[in-house]
Amino acid sequence: MFPYPPGDAQYTPVRSIHLVTWVDPGQARELKSATEVRKAEQNGDVTIEIPGVIVNMPFVT
């Protein structure tokens, strides 16, 4: 999810990696937003691991 594009005062090229895993892979479906991922986590459908990996991923415009 990239909420702040280049030119926005809050833009940063630095990203934190989050690993999302389905609790039951047979029930996996496409999640199209961070909100959907958070809701799936609240429902116990997925687990989210934050391994501490930070990457520099600047936008190319």
**Phi-psi map region of 51: left, alpha, beta (phi>0 left; psi -120 to 50 alpha):** alpha
Question: Locate tokens 């895993």: which residue?
Answer: 21
Domain that holds residue 21: 14-56
Q: What residues have CB less than 8 Å from 13, skipping those under 6 apart? A: 56, 57, 58, 59
Q: Is position 4 within any domain?
A: no
Output the pTM of the full model: 0.73
| Alpha helices by DSSP H, the chain | 34-42
Count of domains forming the chain: 1
List pLDDT tens digits, range 4-59. Answer: 888 889 988 998 899 999 999 999 999 998 899 999 999 999 999 999 999 998 88
Q: Is position 46 within any domain?
A: yes
Q: Is position 3 within any domain?
A: no
Euclidean distance between CA atoms 33 and 35, whole angstroms: 5
Q: Is position 28 within any domain?
A: yes
Q: Is position 51 within any domain?
A: yes
User: What pLDDT is stored for residue 1 in this prediction?
Assistant: 60
Q: Is position 21 within any domain?
A: yes
